[in-house]
Amino acid sequence: MQLKKVNLCGVNTHKLPFLSAARIKELFNKKAEGDQDVRQELINGNLRLVLSILQRFKNRGENLDDLFQVGCIGLIKAVDNFSLEHNVNFSTYAVPMVIGEIRRYLRDNNALRVSRSLKVLAQKAQQIREKLTGKLLREPTIGEIAQELGVTPEEVVFAYQTLNEPISLHEPVFQDASDPVYVLDLVSDKKCSAELWVEDLTLRQALTTLTKRERKILEDRFFDGRTQMEIAAEIGISQAQVSRIEKAALRQVRRCLQGQGGKENAEA
């Protein structure tokens, strides 16, 4: 993995050591024999693994230094608990532990606080689900889980929802070399109505400077609350093209509203 020269927690990531699979196996053999001096080498030699996992969480607005330290805690736990008897690569064992540690940190520090009783109910529901799956040899229904717990199905559904982590509207779901697609681009907004737009005569004038296709895309997106994917399928072009045309059209409208006039070529 090619690492850029970045400092996290005072660590120059460009200079992080790398351990081969053979060396890791050798160190864990020594550790199993009672040599605790190899522990630090195992930790230092797998910091790159923590860094690579951070890529999954970099768009959440969290401090990467904090996440790196939390990830290192997960790595230390993995080093302390791993055994070659697990018969898997160390990275296979360590990755879920590092991710789990980071997710726990994000959940515990989330501004959206979930009551402890709901968390406990969600955990119990998971346990009952696994128990019933083994007993019934199929996936149990919400009603069956609720009956086993002595609560309503609505309470079970609500508890399950607490297990889902919120994501940013600006988190990319797809990214090529030029034009990322964010969660916001795939979400319909039914509250956007034409009435809220056409009341502004200046805006209506600005829309007349657009081509027919540009105007249709903006109307579909912001008047009708349609997603870029839906518009692309109707027009017969790619989602990336819809995104580029939309952004160019919005720039043109903004120029008109600012009194600059002019016309950009959004059809490229």
144/232 same-domain check:
no
- Residue 263 is assigned to a structural domain of this protein: no
pLDDT of amino acid 87 = 84
Query: Cβ contacts of residue 263 below 8 Å, gap of 6+?
Result: 209, 252
Structural domain total, the chain: 3
Q: Determine the 3-state secondary structure of 152 from DSSP.
A: coil
Co-location of 11 and 90 in the same domain: yes
Q: Average pLDDT of 131-154?
A: 89
CATH of residue 125's domain is: 1.10.10.10
Q: Are residues 149 and 237 in the same domain?
A: no
User: Mean pLDDT of all residues in the chain?
Assistant: 78
Q: Is the pLDDT score of 90 beyond 70?
A: yes
Residue 184 forms part of a structural domain: yes
What is the reported pLDDT for 267?
43
Q: Is 262 left (phi over 0), alpha (psi -120 to 50) or beta?
A: left
Mean pLDDT along residues 206-212 = 84
Domain annotation covers residue 18: yes
What pLDDT score was predicted for residue 223?
75
Same domain as 178, residue 157? no
Contact 257, 203 (CB under 8 A): yes
Same domain, residue pair 43 and 132: no
- Using the predicted structure, report yes or no on whether residue 150 has a pLDDT greater than 90: yes
| Residues 6 or more apart whose Cβ sits within 8 Å of residue 243 | 179, 181, 185, 228
Please state, in angstroms and as integers, the Cα–Cα distance from residue 111 to each residue in 3, 64, 99, following that order. 32, 18, 20
84: CATH: 1.20.120.1810
101 lies in the same domain as 80: yes
Q: Are residues 44 and 79 in the same domain?
A: yes
Q: Is the pLDDT of residue 180 over 60?
A: yes
Give yes or no: residues 66 and 48 share one domain.
Answer: yes
Whether residue 179 sits in one domain with residue 90: no
Q: Containing domain of residue 192, as a range?
A: 172-257
Nearest to 179 by CA among 246, 231, 233: 246
Q: Is 188 left (phi over 0), alpha (psi -120 to 50) or beta?
A: beta
Q: Is 188 in the same domain as 229?
A: yes
- C-alpha–C-alpha distance, residues 167 and 107, integer Å: 12
Determine contact, residues 213/245, Cβ cutoff 8 Å: yes
What CA–CA distance (Å, rounded) separates 143 from 129? 11
